[in-house]
Structure 1
């Protein structure tokens, strides 16, 4: 059965608050291509009190990151079918394809901008999606950090530095091969360590 993980959307008043704030941020960004806005401007435009915005998003960069995470979750859901190669390939291929579209680097820019803020929980849903994919495949040798380091980071770096012709689909498969090779190497090392620790080994 094909399953794709995704961020649970808030409901009721929380959803209305989020929608109003996100809409206000997008309007302000449209009016100011430089991407500079204040919480006070968002509050005035959205009708949501500043204290509420500060409590939930903490800063303009936190707002940008929340919007970017939501958009990337919608655009590129993480499969969790139990077939790790197929899931990684589907995810990496969508990611590579999206790198050539408008706003491809918005998530990375938002993450960098929010690096000094305590906004880990805004990116947590994506981490949980990676973990769900690994759990479905029984890939206990890997962690979400491995997906970030072995697929996300090199893909974004390559998109930022278009120094030569790039075959995104071929690159996606190469990165997936790297992840699976790391998993296999760790499994072998773990098995060898276990055998060495047994009596009589």
Structure 2
């Protein structure tokens, strides 16, 4: 079966390569004292040719972002039941809990280091963005976008954790959910006028 250029096959060599590189990145990240990895070390540990790693991930931060987004997708998927309050509360509680553990700021630090190359960051974060949008779509929250969730939930949660002031999942999850729902309500009210 022929695939369009740039599309991923669901299995086979491409999937094995991707998983080997992600596993090596995770291992090296866990061993790292400064939250960084070296592309050559990832290639050596994964058994994937250095040129392949550079071609697919481009930078060490791209490796970290891809591995962490993959971890987030499997460890903390966003529910999409249609009950926005419940879905957000479940996900935000998991997020805030994760951010209280050492090592869970690698994603945020990689984003900061990646700096101006927002296109690469968005490309690797695309699966997570689709999950956020699916949660919003399931709840018919058409006035909200993934960027709203970034600004109202992810930005404050990660910044507080980075400043060693992580949010308490038991109390702050409710507040963040209320903020998202308040923005939704205000926008829907404006649209109805």
| Fold shared per TM-score above 0.5 | yes
| Residue matched to 1:198 | none
Deviations along 1:54-83, one digit per CA (max 9) or x if unpaired, are 121011110011111111222211010001
**CA deviation profile, 1:84-117 (whole Å, cap 9, x unmatched):** 1111111111111112123221221122222333
1:91 paired with 2:91, answer yes
Give the root-mean-square deviation of aligned CA atoms.
Answer: 2.2
Q: Which residue of 2 aligns with 1:168?
A: 169
Greater relative contact order structure (CA < 8 Å, 6+ sep): 1
Comparing 18-27 with 88-97, which one deviates more in the overlay?
A: 18-27
Report the secondary structure of 1:79's partner residue.
coil
Q: TM-score, normalised by structure 1?
A: 0.82
**Displacement, 1:157?**
1.7
Report the equivalent of 1:181. Answer: 182
Contact kept in structure 2, 1:39 and 1:60, CA below 8 Å: yes
How many Å separate the matches in 2 of 1:48 and 1:166? 39
Q: Is 2:52 the partner of 1:52?
A: yes
2:150 corresponds to which residue?
Answer: 148
Contact 2:30 2:103 in 1 (8 A): no
Which protein shows a greater Rg? 1
The alignment covers a number of residue pairs equal to 184
Residue 158, structure 1, aligned to residue 163, structure 2: no
Is 1:72–1:107's contact at 8 Å kept on the other side of the alignment? Answer: no
Structure 1: 5+ residue stretches without partners: 1-7, 193-201
Mark the runs of 5 or more structure 2 residues left unpaired by the alignment: 1-7
User: 1:160-188: CA deviations, max 9, x gaps?
Assistant: 2345x953221110011011010010011
1:61 equivalent in structure 2: 61
Offset of residue 11 of structure 1: 2.0
Distance 1:45 1:143, change over 3 A: same
Instruction: Answer whether contact 2:96 2:167 (CA < 8 A) is retained.
Output: no
Q: Measure the CA separation in 2 of the matches of 1:9 and 1:64.
A: 22
TM-score (norm 2): 0.85
Query: Equivalents in 1 of 2:27, 2:113: separation in Å?
Result: 19
Q: What secondary structure, in the 3-state scheme, does the structure 2 residue paired with 1:116 have?
A: coil
Moved more, 21-30 or 40-49: 21-30
Q: How does 1:9-20 map onto structure 2 within 5 Å? A: 10-20=10-20
CA distance in 2, matches of 1:77, 1:9: 22
